[in-house]
Amino acid sequence: MNKNCKLAIMQPYFFPYLGYFQLIEKVDKFVLYGNVTFRKKSFITRNSLVDNANRQEDIRVFVQKASSNSLIIDIKLVDSDWKQRLTRQVRNIYANAPYFSECYPLLEALILNPAVDLHTYNSETIAGICDLLHIKTSIIIENNRLAEIENSLDSNLELPVSTQRVIKLCEFYDAQTYCNPEGGVELYSKCMFAKHNVGLSFFKAGLDDIHAIRGEHKYTSIIDVLMHCGLAQTRECVKAGSFF
């Protein structure tokens, strides 16, 4: 067992931004967690690209209607026509981008992934981007024990449910340190984690290099980064970022 195994847990976003992949690159195991409530109009189904006029243009996954308490793993995609439309949208926006010919065929294959549910589709496209970027982290897409873990959470305990979930997943995956994006500073307590023998680190994305290239659009989809930086430079960009 890795005595210093670092674990991160994130919902499977739709072609997420560079910082998401920087976090994946920094940990030993990355859990794409879908056993939580699906949130409409979030990064689970939406992101943005940047057109030639420097304007952001939305992209999205098309999903079937679901009840308000549906889990991400329960959400089904509509027919695959939208995937073809998305490939055309990407092609039209980036046809003149510096690395279009290198990256478009690779991205087209990922967009056309035949998965029929949201969790699998987003997770497999994320794993596919990791392969392109030579990220060696173990990507955990699903496990039949996750529902069991979710059902064991107790809202009556002093420990918040979100913290219970993370600690149980760290125990399940033999991880000694949980790594969360810096936005979780107000959500998680290092002292609380220490009481359960789990370390807690926060990750700050390193976006200076991509900011120099894409300016205010540094938070847009990884698709935009690849089209303007290419595989080699993006692989270097993904190594940035640090824990605190």
Structural domain includes residue 215: yes
Domain of 48, in residue numbers: 6-243
Q: Is it the case that residue 18 has pLDDT exceeding 90? A: yes
For range 34-62, the mean pLDDT: 95
For range 209-216, the mean pLDDT: 95
Cα–Cα distance measured from residue 99 to residue 228, given in angstroms and rounded to the nearest whole number: 6
Q: Which residue(s) pair with 221 in the sheet? A: 17
pLDDT at site 153: 93
Q: Which of 127, 28, 9 is nearest to 72 (CA)?
A: 9
Q: Which of 71, 67, 66, 47 is nearest to 57 (CA)?
A: 47
Query: What's the sign of the alpha-carbon dihedral 156, 162, 165, 167?
Result: negative
Cα–Cα distance measured from residue 166 to residue 182, given in angstroms and rounded to the nearest whole number: 16
Structural domain includes residue 45: yes
Q: In this prediction, what percent of the chain has a pLDDT beyond 70?
A: 98
For range 182-209, the mean pLDDT: 95
pLDDT at site 95: 98
Structural domain includes residue 159: yes
Query: What b/e readout covers 209-244, taking b as 16+ CB neighbours within 10 angstroms?
Result: bbeeebeebbbbbbbbbbbbbbeebbbebbebbeee
Residue 225 identity (one-letter amino acid): V
Phi and psi at residue 52, to the nearest 5°: -65, -20
Higher pLDDT, 59 or 157: 59
Structural domain includes residue 1: no
Q: Is it the case that residue 126 has pLDDT exceeding 90? A: yes
For range 106-121, the mean pLDDT: 97
Q: How many domains does the structure of the chain reveal? A: 1
Model pTM?
Answer: 0.95
pLDDT at site 32: 96
For range 164-169, the mean pLDDT: 95
pLDDT at site 2: 58
How is residue 107 written in tokens?
């991205």
